[in-house]
Structure 1
């Protein structure tokens, strides 16, 4: 191949893609214990931080469009993990809040990040550096 830029080993997209697939695969058995998918887990992580958030803000935080987010929130509501309600200030805004069952799931989930980190075998310094670089990259892509 005459053009090295097109070699798979020279791409940043491939190790990100492969790492994401592997990460999601490793999370699956951990999340199966809570009967959650990875995207549902991400929703709960945000709600455990904020307790109540608009669907629009949640979608922005998770980089998910409403076509993806709304059906997932409906399934989570049917399972009793969260409640969707119209904002009292603006009827057009739908807010999401944890139910008691959703709050209780936090206790069960506390070991998930630790178990996953153990599987990566990254030391704390590498983990922090990787997270910082990925966050910076995401911010810059989002701005452009």
Structure 2
């Protein structure tokens, strides 16, 4: 007879555990680039679209302003990006990558491929996992 597990059978715990394990695997790779995982997410979003308002960056990364502002400040202090006033509206700031960030773009963009090798899963499995995660996120977002 299977022993009931209060924790291990819960989807929320499984997703939490997998997320933590993935971030632990990223940590040594990111350390070489002087980045944390959330900083990596911000850079990936900016490599996709640079020179965007902070609000748009928050929408891309799904970070709220209380999380995103300190991340941007830290990345700015490290020389990876700058906040630039928008012409015509000095109150608005766009987030712009620096030469330092652009010089390391190739190394940063290579990290997901390195992680792909570590995961040892078939492409179809990863695609399904990504799609199911996306579906769950959309469903949960509609509830907010």
Between the aligned partners of 2:53 and 2:14, the Cα distance in structure 1 is 33
Pair 1:105–1:143, CA change in 2 (3 A): same
What corresponds to 1:16 in structure 2?
Answer: 15
Equivalent position SS for 1:19? helix
In the TM superposition, residue 78 of structure 1 has moved relative to its aligned partner by 1.6
With structure 1 as the length reference, what TM-score do the two structures score? 0.90
2:75 aligned with 1:76: yes
Equivalent position SS for 1:86? strand
What corresponds to 1:44 in structure 2?
Answer: 43
Between the aligned partners of 1:121 and 1:108, the Cα distance in structure 2 is 21
In the TM superposition, residue 14 of structure 1 has moved relative to its aligned partner by 0.6
Q: Which runs of 5+ in 1 are unaligned?
A: none
What corresponds to 1:63 in structure 2?
Answer: 62
2:118 aligned with 1:131: no
With structure 2 as the length reference, what TM-score do the two structures score? 0.90
Between the aligned partners of 2:72 and 2:140, the Cα distance in structure 1 is 27
In the TM superposition, residue 89 of structure 1 has moved relative to its aligned partner by 4.0
Between the aligned partners of 1:86 and 1:49, the Cα distance in structure 2 is 21
Q: Which runs of 5+ in 2 are unaligned?
A: none
In the TM superposition, residue 73 of structure 1 has moved relative to its aligned partner by 0.9
RMSD: 1.5
Equivalent position SS for 2:89? coil
Between the aligned partners of 1:92 and 1:141, the Cα distance in structure 2 is 33
In the TM superposition, residue 93 of structure 1 has moved relative to its aligned partner by 2.2
